[in-house]
Amino acid sequence: MKILVVGAGATGGYFGALLARAGEDVTFLVRPARAAALRERGLRVVGRDEEWVLTPRLVTAEELTGPYDLVLLSVKSTGLDRAIEDVAPAVGPDTAVVPLLNGLAHIDTLNTRFGAPAVLGGVAKVVTTLDDSGDIRRLAPLAHLAFGEQDGTRSPRVEKIRAVLAGAGIDAPVPERIVTAMWHKWVFITTFGAVTSLMRGTVGDVYDVPGGPEFGPAVLAEAAAVAGAAGHPVPEAERAATLAVVSASGSPMVPSLYRDLVSGRPTEVEHLFGDLTDRARALGVATPLLDLATLHLRVHQRRVTAKAPAGAGA
């Protein structure tokens, strides 16, 4: 299977590295600066008492030709439009595009550009980050990539992709309803993001002050209510798992959105929070805490945009 991984960051880079290490035919579509760094240093995965280095096959947008069998699209929503144009030459009539973004708005965008039959739903769960050297730092053993046809059918191409991912050591379930799984991940990431970003602290910082233990459950209740109203109720086990993450005394955990916020970088506010609160209003669900988090992140976003040099890209 000929695989193109769009982006070589903490998520796509890690899954792509696992596939390449397993001997799969993997190419990474990257920006010129990232390509230069990877050619000099290699694609490194470090942490958890391990370190391994690959010499990745790289291509920039100007060099890309296609088609590929599988495209793993792992970019921030702020860079989605550009990534779509860059990857277009790789998408042929039989290409399967699996986006690894959070939220749901990107599915409509990809369906419009490539046609719904080409696009699968995807949910990535991995605890990695890029360190200052550009290496992928693995913080936990989780390597989970759920995916499937948007209409829930169990197609031959899904089975083939699942076998390839599993062969690389990736936990690759095929949920009966991938869109529902995407909603549930969306509930998790917005709850986690709102708790830490709105309060400007780690999970433990928030939980360990008066009023903190009640905050996480209140945010989760709002996000879960939106999912339920949209026809995707969150099972009690998943609600409990999310609460365990955002209700832990002393926990140093923060999501990537928080790291972007405190570092003065753009965030995915509209894709993650703006879209969710818009849907909440359309469904008649009150979300005062999520609305406040959205406003907070929008103010940050405006400041970042105002400071960006003319012509700066995502």
Torsion of Cα atoms, 186 then 189 then 195 then 201, to 10°: -160
Q: Which is it for the CA torsion 108, 272, 184, 219, positive or negative? A: negative
Q: Label residue 298 exposed, middle or buried (CB < 10 Å: 0-12, 13-18, 19+).
A: middle
Q: Phi and psi for 22 in degrees, rounded to 5?
A: -80, 0
- Span 140-158, average pLDDT: 93
Given a cut of 70, is residue 313 above it in pLDDT? no
- Strand boundaries in 90-243, DSSP class E: 96-99, 120-130, 136-149
- Residue count of the chain, please give it: 314
Predicted TM-score (pTM) of the model is: 0.92
Tell me what the mean pLDDT of segment 92-117 comes to.
Answer: 96
pLDDT attached to residue 124? 95
Q: What confidence tens digit (pLDDT) does each residue in 166-191 have? A: 999 999 999 999 999 999 999 999 99
Amino acid making up residue 192: F
- Degrees to nearest 5, angle at CA 123 with 247 and 249: 10
Strand partners, 130: 136
pLDDT at 180: 97
Question: φ and ψ at 178, to 5 degrees?
Answer: -65, -35
Query: For residue range 9-66, what is the model confidence (pLDDT) as tens digits?
Result: 999 999 999 999 999 999 999 999 999 999 999 999 998 778 999 999 999 999 999 8
Instruction: Say what the pLDDT of residue 309 is.
Output: 62
SS3 content of the chain, % helix, strand, coil (to 5): 50, 20, 30
CB 120 within 8 A of CB 98: yes
SS3 assignment, position 19: helix
Distance CA 250, CA 213 (A): 12
